Structures are given as C-alpha cells and as structure tokens.
Amino acid sequence: MPTAFSPVLRATRLIQIGIYKTCAYAGTMRVALLQINTTVGDLEGNASLIRKAVESLDADLAVTPEMALVGYPPRDLLLMPGFVKNAWDVLTRLALDLEDSPPMLVGIPEPNRSETGRPLFNSAALLADGSVKQIFRKTLLPTYDVFDEDRYFEPASGPQMLNLKGRTFGISICEDIWNDRDIFRRRRYHRDPLEDLRGADCFINMSASPFTAGKHLKREMMLSSIARKYGVPLIYVNQVGGNDDLVFDGRSCAFSPSGELIARAAAFEEDVLIVDIDSCSGSVSRDDFSPESEIWRALVLGTRDYVRKCGFRSAVIGLSGGVDSSLTAAIAAEALGPENVIGVLMPSPYTSRESMEDALELARNLSIQTITIPISEIMAAYERTLEPIFRGVEKDVTEENIQARIRGNLLMALSNKFGHIVLSTGNKSELAVGYCTIYGDMSGGFAVLSDVPKTMVYRMARWINMRGPVIPQSVLEKAPSAELRPGQRDQDTLPPYETLDEILHRHIEQRQSEEEIVSAGFDQKMVRYVLKMVKTAEFKRKQAPPGIKVTDRAFGSGWRMPIAYMM
C-alpha cells in the first residue's frame, strides 16, 4: 500500500462533519460484507465459513474479502496446479450449496488459459443460481513490502463491471484502489483502474489489506475521498485474522457518495455488515484507534491465529521478570487463555531476587502456571567441559550466550515433550541491533514482539495496567537488564532506548541514511555505531522465528536485505 498521502487526502477527513449529498436511489439495495477469518489452504474450512456467514442472510448481494476461498496470502501454494484446481472444485460445490442464497462475490485464483503471461489471475467469481456467472479480475499487482503478486498473477485489462437488479457495480480488488492521482504524490502504477469504472452506481473493493498501526484511519480517509470524487457509494470488504506474519484488522466499511462513513464492521474479529447503498444506511462499530489498543489487539489476534492454525493449543514462555517477557505472557494469556500458558523461570547466579519475585507476581496476576528450572549446575557443567579449551582466555560474551542457549534448549525440550509452542520474547529494538542470542533467547516458534520497539513495549505495558494491575510496577521502573553478568544493564551496550528507537525508526522505516539522521541532530558516532549493529545482525534476523507485523516495515516477509554486502 502506498503511504505518500497528500494534503488533499488529509483534508478529506473534514467531510465527515460537513453536509452530505443524498444517495442515488429511493429503493433498497442491501449488500452484505462478509468479514471472515480464513486459513490459508483450508479450502473446505473457508467454504464453510462463507456458508455460515450467509445463513438466513437478508441481502441482495454478499461479498467476501480478496482470495477468501484459499486464504490470503497463499504465496507459493499458487504455483501448485492441483491446489488451484481443488479450489475451483470447492467453488463449484459452494455455488450449488448456495443456490437459494443471494448472489455472492467470492475471491479465488483463476487459471490464465492464454499462452502468455503469468499462470493465474487474482479474481472474484459471482455465484448465483447454483453456478459461476461472471468473473472479475484484479488490475494492480503489488510487489513491494510483503506483497509479491506479480510472481503469480496476470493483470486484468478493461473495466470490471457487474450489473445486478438494475444497478451497475464497479468491482475492484484491494490494490486497485490505492493509486488515485488526487491522493498520492507519487503513484506506483501508470493507470488507475477506478477511472475505468466511471458510470457505475457503486464501487465495491474486495481486500486483504494487512494491519499496521495507524493505517486504518488513513485508509478511511482515502476511501472517503474516492467516494466523494466519483460521487458513488463505496463498499470496502477486508479480511480479518492472522496468517503467518500478517494480521488483518477487518474494519470493513462503506461510504456515501459525499464521502460520509455510513458503516464499519468490528475490528480484529469476524463480522457480517449489512449496508443499504440506496438509503446510505448501516451501523458503525465503535473502535479505539490509539496505538497501544490497536497493537495489543493485533498481537493477541495474530498470536491466537498463528498458534491455532499451526496446530498448537498451548504455549511456553521464559519469564525473566523483565518487561518483554511480561508483555509476551500477558498477550499469550489473552490469546490462548491462561490455562494454556506456562511460564518458565530459569534463574542463574546472576538472576536477582527481585526479578524472580516480579516473574512470580506476574504469573499470579495472569493466573498462568509456572515452572522453575535453575541453570547454575548446567552452567557449571559447560564450564567444566570447556575449561581445557578456554583455559587462559578471559571470560566474555561467550559465557553470557551459553546461559541464553541453556535457557533456549530447556524451553525447546518442554516444547518437544509436551507439544507447547515456544513464544520468544525479544523486541524489535533488540532484533534490529542484534542484542539477542541466536539459538538462545531467539529460540522459539513465534516471536510475538519482534516488530514492537522497546519504547512501545513500555507504553503497552502501562496501557495494560490502566485496566488493572497485570505487570508489576517494579518491572516498569527498574533498568532493563539481561542479567547475564553481575551488574549488567542494557545501556552498558546500547544508547538509551528513546534515542535508539528514534534512530532505528528513521533508518528502518523511513530509510534514512547516516547523514540524514545526523543532520536531524543525532550524534554521528552513535548513529554510525547503531547502523553498523543493524547491518551486522542481518544473519541473526534471517534465522529468527516469524513475528507479527505491526509497523510499516518489519523484519518479516517484506524485509529483503542481503546478509553479505559492503557499503
């Protein structure tokens, strides 16, 4: 999704307090927005979700999100012809099952029958009267960030129009709406598919648009501007749920021809939203757009779906008494239920009594089970084994990393024996500069906080506590420390997190160079040190478990930096 919003777009928010035009018709045309949580590859399961969503539905047309039948993003499953064939077999049966239901638009990959171009189209099939009646195709195929659609799909050509019950609907799919010349200073594509839809009575957009903090309000401003520009109602249907490193926030919505928000579905949960495009009526779900609330709900949903869609039911977490493991445990307890979360305390000779007490207090507050496994004897065994080889060499970070790897091995042993998934607890700031131990605290099946900067971790912890005491106050007040040596503090190695996170934000998300960051007032020696750590840590990030994307640029599927390079 392009992010270069112009002043024109920012100003469109004002239309929500202005005077609106009336809608075009005096009749009734009810459209159902099926905001469902699909699982990639689960054709029968996704079809079942669609059937359930339209049970007893009072609507003239139902619309699913993009690629709803196969789940988004299907990635290289699309390269398997058998998978695409099976999807169409399921679609055919679904059409028969829904013969007596309202007409429905269902997202599905469509084989490209020509002898040129990519093998598929990103399409929507109109189901009506027991069969597929019409096909609509996506025009703009994103290849930036987490998207790689040009790898699989051939673009559509020409307007995608649906005539139904005396109305003409202009059909677009996700990226097709993100290229308006009046909204974006720099457009990624040379054409705007919406311009081909002039003359339609209503625009419909079927989306699978991933969440990032603050994105939806920008999305609503854009949709409002488009509805007003073309003078037609606009319906936007978005996927909800977590698939791999992406979370989809739902918030399907509709706008009147004047750009007024007339309906919005629930955030971060399944919903069926009914919109009457003739009377411009619907319901608007209440929402909280604060960063802490949005990110909390995204992390809870993303963790729940990743764990369950991967076949796990329970999680194990190393509890250190620090803020990262405390927040991770709180998210896991909310996502999976406290009865399905186990906190493991693994004290060493350098673990403070306060850290142990904080970890136990947190567990009591969350009502999660704890296990304590001291690691002093294991550390001593390593020391005896390595002493002949290390003799005469000063102790350094090697011994610190051994402690972290002991803990990682213990957590993985519990995972293997009892079938829990290990949730690693590192944050984005640490992952960016490599302040973490590969095969140690980086061990795990899912990295819940890997796109959450340390300063946001603290903000979220304080936000959680506003609803009641969860994370001990002492965790928020003490200096952060890995406690791998006597008196260790994070700031012995790193700049203060407020400074570090600002430098990282400028470099990673805004793509600023050393010179640009220094010109903004940061110390050159510090900036050079941080940027060197970011580059050096690339090999670690390539081996890290997946995590949930919540910022504009995460260390996930959209991060494609080389490991071995020189600049």
The span from the CA of 139 to the CA of 172, in Å, is 8
- Per DSSP, the chain holds a count of helices (H) and strands (E) of 16, 19
Annotated binding-site residue? 454? no
Annotated binding-site residue? 426? no
Annotated binding-site residue? 127? no
Report the C-alpha dihedral over residues 373, 374, 377, 383, rounded to 10 degrees. Answer: 100
Is position 174 annotated as part of the catalytic site? yes
Given 23, 149, 154, 174, which residue is catalytic? 174
Handedness of CA 425, 430, 432, 436 (dihedral sign): negative
Work out the number of other CB atoms within 10 angstroms of the CB of residue 288: 10
- DSSP strand pairing (30-35 vs 61-63): parallel
List the one residue out of 336, 417, 318 whose CA is nearest residue 372: 318
Annotated binding-site residue? 215? yes
Is position 66 annotated as part of the catalytic site? yes
Residue for token pair 């995972």: 415
Residues in a beta bridge with 557: none
- Whether the CB-CB separation of 379 and 406 falls below 8 Å is answered with yes
Handedness of CA 535, 540, 541, 543 (dihedral sign): positive
For every residue of 141-198, which 3-state class applies, written as one string?
A: CCCCCCCCHHHCECCCCCCCEEEECCEEEEEEEHHHHCCCCCCECCCCCCCCHHHHHC
Given 23, 66, 149, 309, which residue is catalytic? 66
Report the C-alpha dihedral over residues 245, 250, 251, 255, rounded to 10 degrees. Answer: 110
Is position 310 annotated as part of the catalytic site? no
Annotated binding-site residue? 320? yes
Annotated binding-site residue? 319? yes
- Whether the CB-CB separation of 200 and 161 falls below 8 Å is answered with yes
Given 110, 138, 149, 175, which residue is catalytic? 138
Work out the number of other CB atoms within 10 angstroms of the CB of residue 538: 16
Collapse the DSSP code of 359 into the 3-class scheme (helix H, G, I; strand E, B; otherwise coil) and give the result: helix
Stretch (H or E) spanning 344: strand 341-345
Residue for token pair 């003359």: 199
For the chain, the residue count is: 567
Annotated binding-site residue? 71? no
Work out the number of other CB atoms within 10 angstroms of the CB of residue 25: 17
Query: Cα–Cα–Cα angle for 156, 159, 160, nearest 5°?
Result: 75
- Whether the CB-CB separation of 272 and 281 falls below 8 Å is answered with no
Annotated binding-site residue? 321? yes
Single-letter code of the amino acid located at 513: S
Annotated binding-site residue? 450? no
- DSSP strand pairing (30-35 vs 161-164): unpaired
List the one residue out of 243, 281, 282 whose CA is nearest residue 266: 282
- For residue 251, the Cα-to-chain-centroid distance in whole angstroms is 14
Annotated binding-site residue? 325? yes
The span from the CA of 556 to the CA of 248, in Å, is 15
Give yes or no for a cis peptide into 73 (omega within 30° of 0). yes
Annotated binding-site residue? 61? no
Annotated binding-site residue? 322? yes
The span from the CA of 33 to the CA of 107, in Å, is 13
Q: Which residues are annotated as a binding site?
A: 144, 209, 215, 318-325, 401, 425, 430, 540
Q: Which residues are annotated as a binding site for ATP?
A: 318-325, 425
Q: Which residues are annotated as a binding site for deamido-NAD(+)?
A: 401, 430, 540
Q: Which residues are annotated as a binding site for L-glutamine?
A: 144, 209, 215
Name the residues annotated as catalytic: 66, 138, 174
